[in-house]
Amino acid sequence: MTDTHIGNGFVPSGQLQLGIFFQGVNSGTVWKSPESGSQTDFESFRRIAQTAERGLFAAFFLGEGLRLREHLGRPHALDVVGRPDAQTMLAALASVTSRIGLVATQNTTYNDPADLAHRLSSLDLLSGGRAAWNVVTTDNAWTGANFRRGGYLDHADRYVHAEAFVSTAKRIWDSWEDGAIASSPGASAWAAPGSARPVRHEGKHYTVDYVPRLPRSAQYRPVLFQAGDSPEGRDFAARQADVIFSAHPKLDDALDFRRDIVERAVRAGRSANDLKIMPASEFILAATPQEALEKKNWVRSLQIGPEQAIAYLEQFWGRELQGFDPDGPVPDIDPVVEETSETRGSGFHGAKAKQLADQWRAEAKDKGLSIRQFVSARTSRGDSSFTGSYAEVADRLAEYARTGAVDGFNISPWLIPTGLDDIVNHLVPALQERAVYPTEYAGSTLRENLGLATPVRQEAGAGNTAVGNTAVELEV
């Protein structure tokens, strides 16, 4: 039986929140259906964001593209690709929504802290306190080829760099005294002189010397999301983040992850309930379990067609496999590269290619899977998928709320722009009937709607060696 105890003073809220992650890349989004809409037209974004808001979703997420994924040295052709700049799109959505949070994934490696903090602050004010930043890092020179800096960061340094970046951003957001701006046009000055403190940072990778231009927002400062799953990533989140966009939606994994994060948060001097967890997930729903299963098979066949199945293996074999039958067995020839020559930008790393190929051949043979079935099983993120009738899935989700395994789910719709319709029309009411989902927005800011506490003002140089407002980045 699943151990649902968490400890360290953690108290389940008994409630769930939903977010929507408009992916824009990868095989999860079906583009081959007649219902599949544009990935770039504003109407797709407006439609799905407004549907999410109708369903009282807490957050609308966008990823960030810094370089197109490649496959065997060319742009990857088989999945949806081509997405807008996150903050520009979210600024536009801010004018046609009023409650939903607007979360921009932004990279610490190829942005400047002063510029990025200013733009996030700007989005936060424009949206009335609904902005959030999903903090990600990159280390490879391949991505750096699109930027002035080029590749400059070692893998080992990426979280040290990211944390210094986030600390600097927080100091920028907290630099204005509350109430600094005059309350009437008759005042002697627009803002009390000296009410914005300069922020200085000197580190191994960058320096900042900046007088911030914007005051705090209705939610004080943008909410911070973090998605890294390594021990370093988890500790970074435990120290800095408000919400973890996790990779652990299966109930027992989610409980283990919660336990681990609570321990890390308490160790970092925070309270057990300070960090919210929202795993990535996919929902395939219908009125009956049987219909849902049929729908799932249909979705999978569109997500992983014969071409995607072969291309997926090619990433790991490092060679063309066009001669192999997608409905036949996993190829009996060996990979030509020692390390996997993965589709760049897709996030696969590391395993020794030949060893991996042997393992996959054995696994597919054991289970009697063709190439296509095998790849579909691997890429469907079966653990993150909730398939079933509305009532069934609502019952499953209620168990997550009861145990406190997660605070909600970040849903990647497999269809754009109508992929949230059945969730909002049927699943949300079923969750409300079970008293595990809000019946109205708690407030007007994202922080209020996620139930997050007002942040403590970041004092100059917290976490660093501080001299006045100058922080010296501690880097190894």
Closest alpha carbon to 328 in 310, 351, 301: 310
Cα atoms in the 13 Å half-sphere on the side-chain side of 265? 25
Question: For residues 315 and 294, what is the distance between their CA atoms, to the nearest angstrom?
Answer: 30
Considering the complex, state which of residue 32 and residue 349 has its C-beta at the smaller distance from another protein: 32
Considering the complex, state which of residue 138 and residue 387 has its C-beta at the smaller distance from another protein: 138
Considering the complex, state which of residue 74 and residue 349 has its C-beta at the smaller distance from another protein: 74
E-strand ranges in 292-406 read: 385-389
The verdict on whether residue 36 carries a ligand-binding annotation is no
Contact 262, 234 (CB under 8 A): no
3-state secondary structure of 103: strand
CB of 389 to another protein, least distance (A): 30
Question: For residues 21 and 81, what is the distance between their CA atoms, to the nearest angstrom?
Answer: 15
The verdict on whether residue 281 carries a ligand-binding annotation is no
Contact 68, 146 (CB under 8 A): no
Contact 225, 242 (CB under 8 A): yes
How crowded is residue 166: how many other Cβ atoms within 10 Å of its Cβ?
Answer: 23
Question: For residues 227 and 249, what is the distance between their CA atoms, to the nearest angstrom?
Answer: 13
The verdict on whether residue 105 carries a ligand-binding annotation is yes
| CA quadruple 410, 414, 419, 424: dihedral sign | negative
What H or E segment, with its residue span, contains residue 208? strand 207-210
CB of 332 to another protein, least distance (A): 20
How crowded is residue 210: how many other Cβ atoms within 10 Å of its Cβ?
Answer: 21
Residue 104 has which token pair?
């921009």
The verdict on whether residue 230 carries a ligand-binding annotation is yes
CB of 438 to another protein, least distance (A): 24
CB of 217 to another protein, least distance (A): 9
Q: Which residues neighbour 269 within 8 Å (Cβ) at sequence distance 6 or greater?
A: none
Considering the complex, state which of residue 115 and residue 358 has its C-beta at the smaller distance from another protein: 115
CB of 146 to another protein, least distance (A): 4
Contact 23, 29 (CB under 8 A): yes
Q: Which residues neighbour 224 within 8 Å (Cβ) at sequence distance 6 or greater?
A: 132, 133, 135, 166, 240, 241, 242, 243
CB of 130 to another protein, least distance (A): 10
Q: Which residues neighbour 95 within 8 Å (Cβ) at sequence distance 6 or greater?
A: none
Considering the complex, state which of residue 184 and residue 439 has its C-beta at the smaller distance from another protein: 184
Question: For residues 210 and 197, what is the distance between their CA atoms, to the nearest angstrom?
Answer: 9
Residues in the chain: 476
CB of 435 to another protein, least distance (A): 34
CB of 442 to another protein, least distance (A): 20
Whether residue 413 is preceded by a cis peptide bond, meaning omega within 30 degrees of 0, is: no
CB of 32 to another protein, least distance (A): 5
Question: For residues 405 and 47, what is the distance between their CA atoms, to the nearest angstrom?
Answer: 31
User: Which residues contribute to the annotated binding site for FMN?
Assistant: 105, 155, 159, 230
